[in-house]
């Protein structure tokens, strides 16, 4: 016999639920629970119905017997003939008892051992002539008793003198009638219940058929078919599910298109540096002059450096675009501290470019919610871009300040600037301004825009208002991040001196 292995510690246990079984359970469980309750209620109702005709017969017997009770010369007598007494006791199924008791509990006639009422309630004694009922036991056998009080005092002004008249019988006939009623109700239920179960099963199968049809339509699709599912072809109850599935398909299609575009762009951009490296290496192999070989190797080193930078930027762009899908963690961080650290890392590179790299800050909190790794990548691309396009002797300044409810990060340079007509295109992939002599791949600003969008920041591009030369108007990149609101500190409760 196959046994399922127990899950290891820490292993997630996959539990599959059947929608058909779930609905069936919720329908059948109340039905099977209510069925015994229905039987119990039917039994109680059947006993009540069975008691009614026999109680009426006992009531008539008590009324007739009470009419025969008289007081003659101060002595209580009953004028019930022997034949009438035989008729009263005549019963093929149950035992019938009667009893007549005079005032002060004196026995007059009937069965001496018939139980007396526990207490003559005041309301019973006041309702002289009314018939009352109770359940009792006689010789260990349950009986139903009907009793009434007869007023022997003819003068209504005197205190009543009451005689007790009781008629009782065992419960055999009542039980038989109740059982017959129960059988008449319960037996059809045994026939109806399987029919109901079959109808429920059939209804659920028919009701869930559209789900099976939807499953077949999805299974019949090709692997590259990410078109949305028509919501009008499914039941209204699963329309939200189909709508969510269509949204997921749209995101998946967008992700696949992004990957395809990335691969195509990467392949296209890698052709030029790789072809240059191959040409320079072949040229160096054919050269015999030492100086020419050295010159070819220098070009090969520059080409490999450009290829390396291109690969790094491609990887950075791919990482930036995949951050939302990867669920990158954003946490509170100080934008001023982060910018100061990045600028410190680029100081040596600024010496190589012979550019003055500066940092300005304000003494204000600039706490934002972000991913430190991605923000460092973004600022590094802005600084690298500024250093490459600024001529030697110029300056690049990184500035962090607070403006209202925003933390503002600015990178300005004294380079040739970006014409207004080109500013909306420079954030596109692989876009480079015509006539630009600086080496680059056109990916740096695309990475900046992608990371800024993921942090809810706005990116603006201006000319440098502090530029001194009309020939070099410079560029000013401004990124505005929403500040992280600090939670108000809870007020300390004053000490209690009790």
The domain spanning residue 422 has which CATH number? 3.30.565.10
- Nearest by Cα to 60 from 126, 148, 123: 148
pLDDT at 368 over 90: yes
Q: Distance between CA atoms of 473 and 414, rounded to whole angstroms?
A: 6
Are 98 and 243 contained in the same domain? no
> Residue 188: inside a domain, yes or no?
no
Q: Distance between CA atoms of 448 and 377, rounded to whole angstroms?
A: 8
- Structure letter (DSSP) for residue 329: P
Q: Distance between CA atoms of 380 and 377, rounded to whole angstroms?
A: 5
Q: How confident is the model at residue 406 (pLDDT cuts 50, 70, 90)?
A: very high
- Nearest by Cα to 110 from 119, 102, 101: 101
Cα–Cα distances in angstroms (integers) from residue 443 to residues 185, 209, 425, 461, in the given order: 83, 52, 12, 17
**Which residues are registered as beta bridge partners of 168?**
97, 145
pLDDT value of position 264? 67
**Which residues are registered as beta bridge partners of 151?**
162
Are 243 and 349 contained in the same domain? no
**CB under 8 A, 24+ apart: contacts of 433-440:** 436/389, 438/388, 438/389, 439/306, 439/388, 440/385, 440/388
> Residue 154: inside a domain, yes or no?
yes
Are 29 and 175 contained in the same domain? yes
Q: How confident is the model at residue 333 (pLDDT cuts 50, 70, 90)?
A: very high
* Beta strands at 356-361 and 395-403: parallel, antiparallel or unpaired: parallel
Are 336 and 292 contained in the same domain? no
- Mean pLDDT (the chain, rounded): 78
pLDDT value of position 107? 84
Q: Distance between CA atoms of 400 and 377, rounded to whole angstroms?
A: 17
- Structure letter (DSSP) for residue 332: E
CA-based diameter of the chain, in Å? 165
> Residue 351: inside a domain, yes or no?
yes
Q: Please, are residues 334 and 467 in contact by the beta-carbon 8 Å criterion?
A: no
Are 68 and 115 contained in the same domain? yes
Are 128 and 253 contained in the same domain? no
pTM of the model: 0.45
> Residue 376: inside a domain, yes or no?
yes
Report the CATH number that the domain containing residue 285 is assigned in CATH. 1.10.287.130
Q: Please, are residues 235 and 210 in contact by the beta-carbon 8 Å criterion?
A: yes
H or E element at residue 137: strand 131-138
Q: Which of 298, 319, 340 is the last residue of a domain?
A: 319
Q: How confident is the model at residue 360 (pLDDT cuts 50, 70, 90)?
A: very high
Are 315 and 350 contained in the same domain? no
Q: Mind listing the pLDDT tens digit for each residue in 422-475?
A: 877 777 766 555 445 455 456 678 878 888 888 889 999 898 888 777 788 889
User: How many domains are there within the chain?
Assistant: 3
Q: Which two tokens stand for residue 44?
A: 């109680």
Are 368 and 465 contained in the same domain? yes
Cα–Cα distances in angstroms (integers) from residue 156 to residues 148, 215, 366, in the given order: 18, 90, 104
- Nearest by Cα to 132 from 114, 142, 120: 120
3-state SS class at 400: strand
Are 277 and 307 contained in the same domain? yes
pLDDT value of position 4? 47
Chain centroid offset of residue 151 CA:
75
Q: Please, are residues 72 and 145 in contact by the beta-carbon 8 Å criterion?
A: no
Q: Where are any strands of DSSP class E within 348-474?
A: 356-361, 367-370, 395-403, 406-413, 458-462
> Residue 467: inside a domain, yes or no?
yes
Q: How confident is the model at residue 339 (pLDDT cuts 50, 70, 90)?
A: very high
Q: Which of 290, 319, 348 is the last residue of a domain?
A: 319
Position with higher pLDDT, 314 vs 465: 465
Give the mean model confidence (pLDDT) for residues 355-379.
Answer: 89
Report the CATH number that the domain containing residue 44 is assigned in CATH. 3.30.450
> Residue 489: inside a domain, yes or no?
no
Are 302 and 364 contained in the same domain? no
Q: Which two tokens stand for residue 58?
A: 């006992």
Q: Which of 7-21, 107-121, 446-460 has the lowest mean pLDDT?
A: 7-21
* Owning domain of residue 444: 329-482
> Residue 416: inside a domain, yes or no?
yes
Are 244 and 162 contained in the same domain? no
Q: Which parts of 68-166 fold into alpha helices (H)?
A: 82-89, 122-126
Q: What angle do CA 199, 201, 205 make, to 5 degrees?
A: 115
Cα–Cα distances in angstroms (integers) from residue 292 to residues 83, 300, 301, in the given order: 151, 12, 14
Q: Distance between CA atoms of 197 and 355, rounded to whole angstroms?
A: 86
> Residue 37: inside a domain, yes or no?
yes
Are 52 and 156 contained in the same domain? yes
Q: Distance between CA atoms of 478 and 400, rounded to whole angstroms?
A: 10
Q: Mind listing the pLDDT tens digit for each residue in 188-206?
A: 877 887 888 888 888 878 8
412 C-beta neighbours (distance < 10 Å), count: 25
């Amino acid at each position: 016999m196959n046994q399922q292995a127990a899950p290891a510690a820490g292993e997630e246990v996959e539990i599959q639920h059947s929608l058909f079984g779930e609905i069936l359970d919720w329908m059948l469980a109340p039905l099977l629970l209510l069925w015994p309750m229905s039987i119990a209620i039917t039994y109680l109702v059947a006993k009540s119905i069975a008691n009614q005709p026999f109680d009426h017969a006992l009531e008539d017997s008590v009324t007739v017997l009470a009419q025969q009770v008289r007081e003659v010369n101060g002595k209580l007598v009953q004028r019930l003939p022997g034949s009438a007494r035989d008729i009263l006791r005549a019963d093929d199924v149950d035992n019938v008892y009667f009893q007549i008791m005079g005032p002060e509990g004196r026995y007059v006639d009937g069965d001496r051992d018939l139980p007396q009422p526990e207490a003559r309630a005041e309301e019973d004694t006041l309702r002289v002539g009314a018939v009352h009922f109770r359940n009792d036991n006689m010789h260990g056998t349950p009986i139903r008793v009907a009793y009434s009080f007869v007023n022997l005092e003819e003068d209504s002004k005197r205190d009543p003198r009451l005689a007790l008249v009781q008629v009782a019988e065992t419960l055999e006939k009542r039980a038989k009638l109740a059982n017959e009623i129960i059988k008449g109700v319960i037996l059809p239920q045994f026939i109806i219940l399987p029919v109901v179960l079959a109808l429920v099963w059939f209804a659920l199968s028919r009701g869930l058929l559209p789900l099976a049809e939807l499953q077949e339509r999805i299974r019949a699709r090709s692997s590259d078919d990410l078109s949305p599912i028509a919501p009008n072809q499914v039941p209204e109850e699963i329309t939200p599910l189909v709508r969510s599935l269509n949204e997921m398909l749209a995101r998946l299609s967008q992700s696949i298109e992004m990957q395809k575009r990335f691969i195509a762009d990467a392949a296209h951009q890698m052709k030029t540096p790789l072809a240059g490296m191959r040409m320079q290496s072949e040229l160096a192999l054919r050269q015999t002059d030492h100086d020419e070989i050295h010159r070819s190797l220098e070009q090969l080193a520059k080409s490999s450096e450009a290829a390396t930078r291109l690969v790094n930027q491609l990887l950075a762009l791919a990482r930036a675009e995949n951050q939302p899908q990867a669920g990158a963690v954003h946490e509170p961080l100080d934008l001023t501290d982060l910018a100061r650290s990045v600028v410190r890392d680029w100081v040596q590179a600024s010496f190589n470019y012979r550019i003055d790299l500066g940092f300005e800050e304000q003494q204000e909190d600039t706490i934002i919610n972000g991913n430190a790794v991605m923000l460092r990548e973004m600022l590094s691309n802005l600084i690298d871009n500024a250093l490459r396009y600024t001529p030697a002797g110029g300056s690049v300044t990184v500035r962090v300040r607070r403006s209202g409810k925003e933390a503002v990060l600015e990178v300005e340079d004294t380079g040739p600037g970006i014409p207004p007509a080109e500013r909306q295109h420079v954030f596109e992939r692989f876009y480079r301004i015509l006539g630009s002599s600086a080496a680059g791949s056109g990916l740096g600003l695309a990475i900046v825009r992608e990371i800024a969008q993921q942090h809810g920041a706005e990116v603006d591009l201006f000319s440098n208002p502090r530029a001194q030369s009309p020939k070099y108007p410079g560029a000013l990149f401004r990124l505005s991040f929403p500040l992280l609101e600090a939670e108000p500190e809870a007020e300390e409760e004053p000490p209690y001196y009790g």
